């Protein structure tokens, strides 16, 4: 990571989002080594990227991390993803204070049609999307483009820091 950012040099913004399939297991069946690998990508990867990118970010730049609504609304089998998301949100607030005046925020997406769900069969994935859509106030599952607008907003909006912006179609409300 250090060598990567050294090659890039100065930058305006850093967005960190990891999109591997979710690691969902009950506590009884939990594979600790696999759980550690999930933390390596989503939490430690974010922290390493911030550590090596932050000194290179120009004035008025920003860092935006990625969390998710499961940090506040976990389900059974979500112990590892929900823990990682909660850790990212705490990291966001802490770094906003430590790295000030550099702005640090996070985006917390809800269910989106992305490769995140590729570990499910197509039929199970579509069933999940239909089930979630029926419960949500906006009556649809989000697309990556819905959330991309939030990352752009946080890069352009120069007065927000330490915030976690939820983009979930109202999913946490129901």
Domains of the chain, CATH where assigned: 2-173 (3.40.50.720)
- In three-state secondary structure terms, 104 is strand
- Predicted confidence at residue 77, as pLDDT, reads 85
- Predicted confidence at residue 97, as pLDDT, reads 98
| Partners of 11 in beta bridges | 57
- In three-state secondary structure terms, 9 is coil
Residue 67 bears catalytic tag? yes
Instruction: Point out the catalytic residue in the list 67, 83, 145, 160.
Output: 67
DSSP conformational letter for 40: I
- Predicted confidence at residue 128, as pLDDT, reads 85
- Judge residue 72's burial from the number of C-beta atoms within 10 Å of its C-beta, 0-12 exposed, 13-18 middle, 19 or more buried: middle
Q: Give the 3-state DSSP-derived string for 41-84, with helices as H, strands as E and coil as C.
A: HHHHHHHHHHHHHHHHEEEEEEEEEECCHHHCCCCCCCHHHHHH
CA distance linking residue 168 with residue 163, whole number of Å: 16
- Predicted confidence at residue 120, as pLDDT, reads 80
Tens digit of pLDDT at every position of the chain (174 positions): 999 999 999 999 999 998 666 777 788 898 899 889 889 999 999 999 999 999 999 999 999 999 998 888 878 888 888 999 999 999 999 999 999 999 999 999 988 888 777 778 889 888 888 988 898 899 999 999 999 999 999 999 999 999 999 999 988 888
Record the pTM. 0.90
């Amino acid at each position: 990571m250090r060598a990567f950012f050294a090659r890039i040099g100065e930058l305006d913004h850093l967005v960190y989002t990891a999109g591997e399939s979710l690691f969902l297991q009950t506590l009884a069946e939990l594979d600790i080594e696999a759980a550690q690998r999930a933390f390596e990508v989503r939490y430690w990867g974010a922290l390493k990227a911030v550590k090596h990118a932050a000194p290179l970010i120009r004035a008025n730049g920003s860092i935006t991390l990625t969390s998710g609504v499961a940090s506040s609304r976990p389900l059974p089998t979500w112990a590892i993803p929900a823990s990682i998301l909660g850790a990212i949100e705490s990291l966001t607030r802490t770094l906003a204070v430590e790295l000030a005046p550099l702005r640090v925020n996070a985006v917390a997406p809800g269910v989106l049609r992305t490769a995140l769900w590729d570990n499910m069969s197509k039929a199970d994935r579509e069933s999940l999307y239909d089930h979630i859509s029926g419960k949500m106030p906006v009556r649809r599952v989000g697309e990556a483009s819905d959330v991309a607008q939030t990352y752009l907003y946080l890069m352009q909006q120069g007065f927000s820091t330490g915030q976690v912006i939820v983009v979930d179609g109202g999913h946490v409300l129901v």
